[in-house]
Amino acid sequence: DVKVTQSSRYLVKRTGEKVFLECVQDMDHENMFWYRQDPGLGLRLIYFSYDVKMKEKGDIPEGYSVSREKKERFSLILESASTNQTSMYLCASSSRTRASEQFFGPGTRLTVL
Amino acid sequence: GNSVTQMEGPVTLSEEAFLTINCTYTATGYPSLFWYVQYPGEGLQLLLKATKADDKGSNKGFEATYRKETTSFHLEKGSVQVSDSAVYFCALLSNTGNQFYFGTGTSLTVIP
């Protein structure tokens, strides 16, 4: 069974704090993704990565950065959290040979006060 | 560009009712199409998919047919159950195979 885990289910931070969201997958997948999910907007891609140390901007990268130092781990970083980054964050992974099958983590609900 | 439009929710149905959730897409080339389901408190799970025109994806009693002429991929189920209550997302995978595009999601509640 593919498992994608995220470091926290719920997180509360203050405006201006630096926030790290961690995602780990155990199936040796090359591709990893970070989305945010907001009511009425669905899922929007923030960043993705095809390999270690590689990253690509998605549709809404502003205010975020990422890190992929190991194949199994993909971190999303909010350099200075703002209230408009309050959202549900979903991590996903897929293999290069079966890119059509994305596996999602349970999500992290982040609240920025 | 690529985009997915799905019907607004929320949708509330009685058990054993017929379900349709509409989904249309805009894409360059020939994308693959998907329905994902998100149960309360969980991440998204793949429900079904279709990779080319006229393909029908099916799983757990749900079906969707890839209609190129109408650029649609409507989700249907003949008889819903309370356990089908969830949020359903239509999605496409671009023909470069790199990026998914998701609809806004449709919340379904099935009442006994």
Task: Encode pLDDT of B2-38 as tens digits.
Answer: 899 998 889 999 999 999 999 999 998 889 999 999 9
Report the 10 Å Cβ neighbour count for B34: 27
In the predicted structure, residue A35 carries a pLDDT above the cut 70: yes
Q: What is the pLDDT of residue A92?
A: 94
In the 8-state DSSP scheme, what is residue B72? Answer: B
Residue A48, SS3 per DSSP: strand
Nearest Cα residue in chain B from A109 = B41
What percent of chain B clears pLDDT 70, i.e. is strictly above it? 98
In the predicted structure, residue A1 carries a pLDDT above the cut 70: no
Rounded to the nearest integer, the mean pLDDT of chain B is 93
Contacts of B34 in chain A (CB under 8 A): 100
Q: From CA B49, how far away is CA A105, in angstroms rounded?
A: 20
Residue A7 phi/psi, 5-degree rounding, is -65, -30
Look at residues B3, B9, B5, B4 and name the one whose alpha carbon lies nearest to residue B87. B9
Closest-CA distance of chain A to residue B64, Å: 17
Beta strands at A87-94 and A108-112: parallel, antiparallel or unpaired: antiparallel
Cβ separation B104–A40 shorter than 8 A: yes
Q: For an interface test with B, give the residue of A34, A37, A48 to mutate (most B CBs within 10 A).
A: A37
Q: Which of A9-23, A27-41, A69-83, B88-102 has the lowest mean pLDDT?
A: B88-102
> What are the beta bridge partners of residue B91?
B34, B102
In the predicted structure, residue A34 carries a pLDDT above the cut 70: yes
